Amino acid sequence: MSRAYLVLADGTVFEGQSIGAEGTTTGETVFTTGMTGYIETLTDPSYYGQIVTQTFPLIGNYGVMSEDFESKKSWVSGYIVRELCEKPSNFRCEKTLDDFLKAQGIIGICGIDTRALTKKLREAGVMNGMILSGTDKRPEVNEALLKKIREYSIVDAVKSVQNGSSFKPLEAEKSSKHIVLFDFGAKANIERELEKRGCRVTVVPYDTKADKVRALEPDGIMLSNGPGDPAENTGVIEEIKKLCDYGKIPIFGICLGHQMLALARGAKTSKLKYGHRGGNHPVKDTETGRVYITSQNHGYAVESSTLPDFARLSFVNVNDETCEGIDYTDIPAFSVQFHPEACGGPHDTNFLFDRFVKSL
């Protein structure tokens, strides 16, 4: 392995070894606490524009299986691990993680103190970073380099991760319920969970107009996860508002979909210090007090204090009490910040899909 360097926006430099493709990449440096699920992380469109740090020390031990992809490709800007497993053990393994990163053109670094990096991001907040690999020369950290790193920003994120079909319903029974799924960077498991429950799913682009959605005569509308700042999607939010004003089609929002639904209904969102990423985040049902273990990946949250009178806070994060779910009392709509289609508990919150289907 050749040397690689991670340079953070505050001037900190970590030296390690190159993994994946070689070159230079810039992104928003974040960490995820999942002990497993690195394949799903790498192929989750919500990580677009981010350099992802795995806090679990050994990554790649079960290889890569295309069947577990959440989308067609990897969307991360870079990848950081403590130790990369070069000889995975799994009967389903198709290739090593390093081979996958090379094939996807993902620049990565291993052999650094990921615990120290995570502590820095936790205390200072997420910050931009740059990975430089394929060189033995330590980068000169000067104002020009730091300026380039600091100027990086994630823009047009939802537009950049389009991977759905366009108005092409899947084959299903005539009696099945028809769901329109907005693709803001949708994870494949959302569609799978709906199909498991007998739904016919039509995936539509992020910028589909409300009247076009209504013309498809759906029984329900799903607002998917996705990357970036929810507030920048002003056109999408306006179309969601029109669907809410119509008020007759049940709506279920997940992650970015949850945030944009809240914005469409008059609430506000703000950026978290270091976000919630990983498969072990506890959330509490505000009505029953029950705690669920959830999978999460987001850097923004809905501000609970800005919820309108017709919105009820349904779930809160146990760690920091941020908004994790909203029920709307004036229309048939609800949303959650976490990922019920993932396997955090491992099946703790699958019931939310049942709730949605029953409401159709």
Summarize pLDDT for 299-356 with one digit per residue, the tens. 999 999 999 999 999 999 999 999 999 999 999 999 999 999 977 666 789 999 999 9
End-to-end distance of the chain based on CA atoms, in angstroms?
55
- pLDDT score recorded for residue 289: 97
pLDDT > 90? residue 92:
yes
Euclidean distance between CA atoms 4 and 7, whole angstroms = 10
Residues near 184 by beta carbon (within 8 Å), at least 6 away in sequence:
158, 161, 206, 223, 224, 225, 226, 233, 236, 256, 257, 260
- pLDDT score recorded for residue 344: 63
Report residue 239 as tokens: 């179309």
Task: Give the whole-number percent of the chain exceeding pLDDT 90.
Answer: 91
Mean local confidence (pLDDT), 88-93: 96
pLDDT > 70? residue 173:
no
Give residue 32's identity as a one-letter amino acid code. T
Length of the chain: 360
- 217 in catalytic set: no
List the catalytic residue out of 70, 258, 341, 343: 341
- pLDDT score recorded for residue 1: 80
Mean local confidence (pLDDT), 103-124: 98
Band of pLDDT at residue 166, cut at 50, 70 and 90: very low
Query: Mean pLDDT, the chain, as a whole number?
Result: 94
Mean local confidence (pLDDT), 118-137: 95
Euclidean distance between CA atoms 308 and 110, whole angstroms = 46
- pLDDT score recorded for residue 171: 53
Report the b/e string of 256-286 with b at 16+ CB within 10 A: bbbbbbbbbbebebeebebbbbbbebbbbee
List the catalytic residue out of 28, 110, 339, 343: 339
- pLDDT score recorded for residue 135: 85
pLDDT > 70? residue 164:
no
List the catalytic residue out of 255, 258, 276, 324: 255
pLDDT > 50? residue 165:
no
- pLDDT score recorded for residue 162: 81
Band of pLDDT at residue 174, cut at 50, 70 and 90: low
- 343 in catalytic set: no
Mean local confidence (pLDDT), 22-48: 96
pLDDT > 70? residue 198:
yes
Distance from chain centroid for Cα 316: 18
pLDDT > 60? residue 175:
no
Distances (CA, A) of 259 to 79, 97, 254, 277, 300: 26, 32, 8, 16, 8
Euclidean distance between CA atoms 183 and 206, whole angstroms = 5
Band of pLDDT at residue 163, cut at 50, 70 and 90: low
Mean local confidence (pLDDT), 160-167: 63
pLDDT > 70? residue 142:
yes
Distances (CA, A) of 78 to 160, 192, 280: 17, 28, 23
- 339 in catalytic set: yes
Mean local confidence (pLDDT), 190-211: 95
Task: Give the whole-number percent of the chain exceeding pLDDT 70.
Answer: 96
Largest CA distance in the chain: 65
pLDDT > 50? residue 167:
no
**Per-residue pLDDT tens digits for 268-291:** 999 999 999 999 999 999 999 999
Report residue 80 as tokens: 């950081």
Euclidean distance between CA atoms 360 and 358, whole angstroms = 6
Residues near 5 by beta carbon (within 8 Å), at least 6 away in sequence:
13, 14, 15, 16, 109, 131, 132, 133, 138, 139
Mean local confidence (pLDDT), 171-176: 59
Mean local confidence (pLDDT), 157-172: 65
